[in-house]
Chains A and B, each alone.
Chain A
Amino acid sequence: MRHSRKLAGALYAAPVAAFVLVFFVAPLLLVGRMSASDWPLLVGDRGINLPDNYAGITANPLFWPAVGFTLKYTGIVVVILIGLSLLLALIVADRRKGTGFFRSAYFLPTTLGLASASLLFYGFYSHAIGPLDPLLEALGMEPVSWLGTPTAALWSTVVLIVWKFAGFFMIILLVGLQSIPPEVYEAARLDGANRWQSFWHVTIPLLRPALGLVLILSVTGSLLAFDQFFILTKGGPDNSTVTVVQLIYREAFQRFDLGAAAAISVVVLAALLVLNIVQFRALRKDA
């Protein structure tokens, strides 16, 4: 009986095990092998060429600008997203008249796909049909080229991403806020704390796990940015908005060098693993 139950358990787990082996473990090993090989897209494996692909990464003139841009973009997005989603969560936390509506309004953009949202803003920022130029004109101002300069393209994308994801992070912070027992606020009030003091000394420390999750998710998501820049700016103007993942795509499918693309992918994986371990450690220690 006990033996047959063990067998049954292994049988139920077998499909997941097979799937994870074929579609996760095997490609993980393969990407290591590819990163060490001369592997043109249309030809396939032409043998080990270590360390050419890795040495080629820093020789790529787009690499350091892409790393720099990705980090800058991540920094901006993370700060604004955390600030705004916290504000939204605080707005809808208490049950008041209208909070149900506000919750849905802030959350609605999250239901769209990132590619759909990017295509939406592609039209929204356009001179052809976008509402922004007529608006500026009505106010007596010059039209703006929303995607035309490196700075404008960066901030226009930041607006899109904040619009799309603030509601998602609001929900995570909202769950965190609602798990704080009301007695704690009551105690702070009895100790003479005002609204601001109890926010700063009660809410923020107790919200730490939720804030930590928001931090990790927004940092990881921004470092791996692809869709929004591929669709909205195509990496332009003048390659000023090429992210690291876009670089992988370009190496593989525009320069047809899967080996080089695999090498960058391995570096990105290693960097993210280290970063996540550091973030987890930091959050655990402080908590």
Chain B
Amino acid sequence: MGTKLWSTSYYVLAASLAVLFLLPLIWTGYASVAPHGATNQQVGYGFGNYASLLEYDAGLLRYLWNSTYTSVLTVAFTLALSIAGGYAFARFSFRGKDTLFLLTLAILMVPYSTLLIPLYSMLGDLGLRDSLTGLALVLTLYQLPFAVFMMRISFEAVPKEIEESAMVDGAGTFGILTRIMLFSVWPGLITVGLFSFLAAWNDFIAPLILVSSADKAVLPVAIANLRQQSMGAVDFGATQAGVVVMALPCLVLFALLQRHYVRGFMSGAIKG
């Protein structure tokens, strides 16, 4: 086979696959603003579907707030736990260290659905059912294995000499953590923050089960409900506008933080 033929067929294949992967994304953006008789954007291009989303039930802004609150809280919980835990696992020895680390990784072995049934019951006893804070705690649980693992290897990669010289100067372990270590592990922090934000922002089954009030719905659940309601007639235009609203932050974060994405996957691959 000639090199030129090989190269041409390579680019034809690669480009057609790229079209197939991009097409649905381009279509949803188009469908959310294009005119269609069955939607709130009847004539000409415009934002009629987004307008109907703004007014749907509790309103788009409410759902945006619910999703943002839950995601930010999940990131905060995950970072706080994994910074303290990762530091402990990387730099200290204490009783039960290996057991606790394995137990944390074992969360990955238990399916989400298995834990959601008892968690539904437990959150009720704790007064955290139908609460976005309770939801954020549950979402944190599933971020913990990756986050603790990531922060442990990040802290382990920091040279010990930096710490030792600070210790000679009389700094305590907490001072070393907050004034020195955190600056050295910031790529790990961004990766953990990015992944926990995306996981919380996109999660569907946990909020579906744990949060029942309509005005506390997060975006994915609200948009899925929108599709089911209004007497059998589905508002497809508003649904696609909702998809765009949900997808935009994910695409922006991807564009800004590409390197950290791959970093996260790589540590996953090494772990396997």
Contacts and interface: CB of A to CB of B under 8 A. Distances in A.
Interface string A241-283: 0000100110011000010011001101100110010000000
A113 B115 contact: no
A75 interface: no
A7 B240 CA distance: 54
B176 to A, nearest CB: 11
Contacts of A44: 121
Nearest to A258: B117
Nearest to A24: B107
A55 interface: no
A276 to B, nearest CB: 7
Given A9-B88, A10-B94, A13-B97, A124 B24 contact: yes
Contact of B111 (A16, A111, A272): A272
A105 B18 contact: yes
Central interface residue in A88, A123, A131, A253, by most chain B CB within 10 Å = A123
Interface in A196-210: 209-210
Contacts of B81: 15-16, 19
Interface in B207-265: 208-209, 220-221, 223-224, 227, 234, 236-237, 239-240, 242-243, 246-247, 250-251, 253-254, 258, 262, 265
A106 interface: yes
B272 A111 contact: no
A23 B17 contact: no
A224 B114 CA distance: 10
Interface residues of A, number: 89
Contacts of A168: 265
B125 to A, nearest CB: 9
Contacts of A88: 17
B contact patch SS: helix
Given A12-B92, A108-B22, A27 B118 contact: yes
Contacts of B246: 112-113, 115-116
A108 B17 CA distance: 13
Interface in A163-182: 163, 166-168, 171-172, 175-176
Contacts of B204: 113-115, 226-227, 230-231
Contacts of A8: 92, 173
Contacts of B22: 105, 108
Nearest to A29: B118
Interface in B22-55: 22, 24-25, 27-28, 31, 36, 38-39
Central interface residue in A8, A24, A91, A226, by most chain B CB within 10 Å = A24
B236 A111 contact: no
Contacts of B144: 16, 19-20
A285 interface: no
Contacts of B94: 6-7, 9-10, 13
B264 to A, nearest CB: 10
30 contacts: A5-B92, A6-B94, A10-B88, A12-B173, A19-B140, A20-B104, A20-B107, A24-B107, A28-B118, A30-B118, A98-B11, A101-B18, A105-B22, A109-B21, A111-B253, A112-B202, A114-B202, A115-B202, A119-B240, A119-B243, A129-B36, A129-B39, A175-B266, A213-B268, A224-B112, A227-B204, A227-B205, A245-B111, A252-B120, A272-B109
Interface of A: 5-17, 19-20, 23-28, 30-31, 34, 39, 44, 88, 91-92, 96, 98, 101-102, 104-109, 111-116, 119-124, 126, 128-129, 131, 163, 166-168, 171-172, 175-176, 209-210, 212-213, 216, 220, 224, 226-227, 230-231, 245, 248-249, 252-253, 258, 261-262, 265-266, 268-269, 272-273, 276
> Sorted from nearest, which 10 A-B pairs have the closest CB atoms?
A113-B202, A9-B92, A213-B272, A12-B88, A16-B85, A30-B118, A115-B204, A27-B118, A13-B88, A115-B220
Given A114-B202, A123-B31, 9 more contacts: A11-B88, A13-B88, A16-B84, A34-B118, A129-B38, A252-B120, A258-B117, A261-B117, A262-B118
Interface of B: 10-11, 13-15, 17-18, 20-22, 24-25, 27-28, 31, 36, 38-39, 80-82, 84-85, 87-89, 91-97, 100, 103-104, 106-107, 109-115, 117-122, 137-138, 140-141, 144, 148, 173, 198, 201-205, 208-209, 220-221, 223-224, 227, 234, 236-237, 239-240, 242-243, 246-247, 250-251, 253-254, 258, 262, 265-266, 268-269, 272
